[in-house]
Structure 1
C-alpha cells in the first residue's frame, strides 16, 4: 500500500510494491500493467510518479515497455545474467531500505547477512554458546535475546558453578563461544585458563522501555519488586535508585515463596511493581487474571528487561562469524565492509 506519510519516495514505494507482487506471484511474466494514467487515478498519485516508477523498473529489466502496446512484466525465464543481477540489486536495495528504516547500521546488516549465509551454506550441528552470569533471571533474558541467531544452542551457567568447579575447562570444552558480563569477566577469565580465548565480554543495561517506565514513576509511589533471586532484586534496586533517586518506598518479594492468594494481597500494597520478564505473574493460566485486575485498579506493571547492549551484540555477531569461518570451513563468508 502506498503511504504518503512515509519518508520513502512514493515512486520507490510503488517500485517495491510491484516487485513484491512479482515475488508473491500476484503478477506473472508477460502480465500487462495498468497504464500510467489508470494506475495514477487508482492510487491517487501523480502520473509523473507512476512514470518514474515504471522507468526504474524498465531500466532494471523488471518490466518491458512496448511502444503502442503498454508495459509488461518481463519474462524472467529468458532474463540474461546481467538482467538478473540488475533485478537482484534492486531487491537488495529494497531490503537495505527496510533495514535502515528499522535503524540497523551497516555493520549490523553485514553481520546478520554473514550469519544468514553461514546458515544456508552449513550442514553442521550449529553453534554452541555458554552464557555465564550471577542470577537465573538475567541468564533467561540473555538466552531469549540471542535466539534470533540461526542454529544456536545456548547453555546457562551461574558464576558460582564455574568458579567452584575443579575443572571448568572440561565443563566448557564443547562450546564455541563463552559469554559473560563485564562484572564477572575478570573472575571467569582467570578461572577458565585456556578457554579465555573464546570468552566474550558483554555489557548489559536495562532496555530503553524499562528506563522510560521507571523514570515516569511518581517518587512518592510505593514500588514492589517481584523476582526469583536476591541478586536480580539488587540489580533492579540499584537501577531504581539511579533513575529515580527520590523514590521513597521499595520492597522486594521472591516469587518462589508466594502463592496466587498471597500475590493478590501483596499487589494491593503497591502503586507499581517491577518484575522479571519471565515472572510467573505474567502467566495467565497460573495467576487467573491477577495482573489484569491490578492494572484495572490503577496499578503499574514494569517488566525489567536487562539486555546485552547493542554495541556488544555487534561485536558478538562478528565473533560468531569468525567462529563459523574457523570451525566450519566454507561458512560465514566475510562480506566486504
Structure 2
C-alpha cells in the first residue's frame, strides 16, 4: 500500500506510540483509511517511520482498544471504521450550578490578570481541544466477573463519554497466558473492590494502573428488592447471562431473608419460552440495561406479566460516590500529566 506519511518527533514529551496512533486515528476518521483497509505490517511501518516494531505494535493496540481496527493473528491488522462516542452523561442542576460558579471564579481571576475576553475565550478553547485530544486517545480497561456489571463504568464516569473503553471478564484474564501484555496498551484499569487484590496480583508490574470501585445496587433497585414479600409463597424468577450474576442476586435476596428455594434462575437464550418461565412467578429480576422489552415477542409477554400483577425489577448497579470521585481524579491527573 502507499506510504501513510506517519511522522514522529522523538524529542516530544508525547510517547512515540501515541504520536503514531493519533495520526492513524485521524486517517481512519477522515476516511483516508476506509473500513476493510489492511494496515502495513508492524515492521514495515516501523522501517518507514524509523521507530521500533514494538512501538508500532503498541499503536495498533491503541487502535484496537478504541474499536477502530481488528488485529487478526496470522493475517494482519484491518480497519473496522470510526467509532462514534457514547452520548454524554446527563448532569443535574446542582452540579451545573457549581460548574457555573467555578467558571465565573476563573473568569474573574483571568480578568484580574488583565486578559481580555477574547483572550480568555481563545485560551479556554485551545485547552479544551487539547484535553479532548488527549481523552480521545485515552484507553481504559474494565474488569469484572460478570458481563452484566461491566456497563456501569461507561454509564457513570463522566470522562468516559469520550475515552475508549474495553471490557474484560475476569475469567478471561485468569486464563490469559500473558496478562501483562493484555493490558499494556491501557492507561487505566478499573475493577471492583472485590476483585482488586486478585487483579493487582495478576499484574504486579502494572498494579499502579489498577483502581478499585465500590459498587452497590442503586437506591431504586434496593427499594424494589426490599419490597419483595417474605412470605413463602411468591416465586422469584432471575434472568441472567452468567452464573456469577445469578449468585450475586441470590446473595442480595438472602440478605433480605428471601428463602433460596423461592428463587429460580434461567440463562437467557434467544427463542426461550419466557411465558413458561413466568407461569408461576410473581417477580422477575433482569440484569442492568437488559433490552428484553425490545426483543421480538418478549415485550408483550412482560407487559402481560405486569398487567396481571407481576413485578419486573431491573437490577441496576452504581459506583459509590467516594469511589467515583477517586477514579475521576485519577483520570484527570493522567490527562494532565
1:272 maps onto 2:267 in alignment: no
Which residue of the partner structure matches residue 322 of structure 1?
333
SS of the residue corresponding to residue 189 of structure 1 reads helix
Q: Which residue of 1 aligns with 2:311?
A: 300
Instruction: Please say if 1:121 is aligned against 2:115.
Output: no
Aligned mates of 1:212, 1:219 — CA distance in 2: 14
Q: Alpha-carbon deviation of 1:98?
A: 3.1
Residue matched to 2:15: none
For the Cα contact (< 8 Å) 1:280–1:286, is it kept in 2? no
1:218 CA displacement: 1.2
Which deviates the most, 311-320 or 125-134?
125-134
So what's the TM-score if we normalise by structure 1? 0.59
Q: Does 1:98 align with 2:110?
A: no
> Considering only aligned residues, what root-mean-square deviation do their CA atoms show, in Å?
3.0
Q: How does 1:200-211 map to 2 (within 5 A)?
A: 200-211=211-222
Structure 1: gaps spanning 5 or more residues: 1-95, 108-115, 327-337
In the alignment, structure 2 segments of 5+ residues that lack a partner are 1-90, 103-124
* 2:262 paired with 1:249: yes
Q: Given that residues 238 and 285 in structure 2 are in contact (C-alpha distance below 8 angstroms), is that contact kept between their aligned partners in structure 1?
A: yes
1:231 is the counterpart of 2:244: yes
Structure-2 separation of matches of 1:281 and 1:250: 20
Q: TM-score scaled by structure 2?
A: 0.59
Question: Cα deviation per residue 1:63-109 (whole Å; 9 max; x = unaligned)?
Answer: xxxxxxxxxxxxxxxxxxxxxxxxxxxxxxxxx993259999x99xx
Partner residue, 1:144: 155
Rounded to whole Å, the distance in 1 between the matches of 2:126 and 2:285 is: 40
Q: How many correspondences in the alignment?
A: 220
Deviation at 1:246, TM superposition (A): 5.8
2:127 and 2:312 map into 1 onto residues whose CA distance is 40
Shift of 1:119: 4.8
SS at match of 1:243: coil
- Relative to structure 1, the CA distance from residue 240 to residue 323 in structure 2 (aligned partners, 3 Å threshold; closer, same or farther) is same
Give distance in 1, aligned partners of 2:96 and 2:329: 22
> Which range moved further: 276-285 or 132-141?
276-285
Q: Which protein, 1 or 2, shows the higher relative CO under an 8 Å CA cutoff with sep ≥ 6?
A: 1
Q: Which has the larger radius of gyration?
A: 1
In the alignment, is the contact (CA less than 8 A) between 2:246 and 2:265 conserved in 1?
Answer: yes
Q: 1:148 to 1:302 in 2, by over 3 A?
A: farther
Q: Is the 8 A contact 1:126 1:151 kept in 2?
A: no
